[in-house]
Amino acid sequence: MLNNNDNNLFNIRSIYQKDPTLSILVIALLLIILSLFIFFPGRVLTANNFESMAFQLPELGILSLAIMITMLSGGINLSIIATANMAGIVSAFIMTRMITESMTGSPIPIILLAILAGWLVSLLIGIFNGVLIAYIGVSPILATLGTMTLVGGISILVTKGYVVSGFPEEYQYLGNGLFLGIPVPFLIFLGLAIFVSILLRRTPFGIANYLIGSNEIATRFSGINVNRTLVKTYALSGLLCGIASTIMISRFNSAKAGYASSYLLITILISVLGGVNPYGGFGRIGGLVLALFIMQLVSSTFNFLGLSSHLTIAIWGLLLLITIGLRNIKSTSI
């Protein structure tokens, strides 16, 4: 219960109205598209490239949602990649062990079981993070760093570092299929983005999450159950990781402990670039989605230019430092 905390709610809404981030991101996206039209006409902005981006973007977008909601509360979840890989490995083991060539009948019930089992594992990991942070008092960065190491080690131990592959076509459709000409993963991402946006802006849980990031002590005195909200936040983050893993391993047709290791840096960059305050309390899904599209366009351009993947990661790291630095300069000058 929010105990009719209208003043805090009003402040959040007024901050939304004053936020220039969305306008800046829209202008940046239009400038990037215009530059690509001028310098690379008919090369980067093609139908095939857009379709390829629509298949690649969703898993990164869902993982960005997973880290964004924890950053809004003033924390962070460094275990998103390890959680996603663990969920994927659980789903992969169930499918590869229970679905055989000699099996009669539809594999869909087993596929659903595998998906739900993976999501359950990711949800439990998220709850574990939340309990460590909310009830035991471990700082978010240390708690999730420890969970990342623990879960990553278990994943390697279980798989012995090997790839688990060979999923049925019905499962691969989730990561590679089209529905009415639109990639299925993209539709899943859009649905989740809309759902999380409504959850954050229109529900007591979402508003409480923002308030915790703005001022946790004041939020406790306002009557909000901070500990319960934090557990829910990290549980939702974990569940989103599980959904991302479903798309990721179905697209790759395999699961492995070390997949998407570079995504952690990129998801943080997308969140910060999209207007999320690294210290909590402010951020919008719309900004994150725009930043995601910008990053995907820039990444596709880098691939077209043949830049090394290591150089690309270095550029992302530099861009993250610049973005946070500019934000800190702006906040201290006010």
In the three-class reduction of DSSP (H, G, I as helix; E, B as strand; rest coil), residue 183 is classed as: strand
pLDDT (0 to 100) of residue 19: 59
Class of domain 6-333: mainly alpha
Query: What value does the CA radius of gyration of the chain take, rounded to a whole number of Å?
Result: 20
The pLDDT assigned to 166 comes to: 87
Q: Work out the pLDDT band at 54, boundaries 50, 70, 90.
A: confident
pTM here is 0.87
Query: Contact 66/240 with Cβ under 8 angstroms?
Result: yes
Six token digits for residue 299: 């990444």
Q: What are phi and psi of 57, to 5 degrees?
A: -65, -40
Mutual angle of helices 184-202 and 285-305, in 10-degree steps: 150
Q: 3-state class of 277 per DSSP?
A: coil
The confidence score (pLDDT) of residue 86 equals: 96
Angle between helices 140-159 and 80-98 (to 10 degrees): 30
Three-class HEC string of 83-123: HHHHHHHHHHHHHHHHCCCCCCCCCHHHHHHHHHHHHHHHH
Mode of pairing for the β-strands spanning 254-255 and 164-165:
antiparallel
pLDDT digits (tens, 9 = 90+) for 159-196: 988 999 889 989 999 989 989 888 999 999 999 999 99
Report percent pLDDT > 90 for the chain: 50
What is 196-249 written as a DSSP string? HHHHHHHSHHHHHHHHHHH-HHHHHHTT--HHHHHHHHHHHHHHHHHHHHHHHH
For the chain, the structural domain boundaries read 6-333
Maximum average pLDDT range among 102-116, 184-198, 247-261 = 184-198
CA distance 85 to 43: 34
State the pLDDT at residue 191. 95
Q: Which range, of 106-110, 143-147, 238-242, averages the lowest pLDDT?
A: 106-110
Long-range CB contacts (< 8 A, 24+ apart) of 315-324? 316/265, 316/266, 316/269, 317/265, 319/269, 319/273, 320/265, 320/268, 320/269, 320/272, 323/269, 323/272, 323/273, 324/272, 324/278
What's at 65, amino acid-wise?
L
Residue 321, pLDDT above cutoff 50: yes
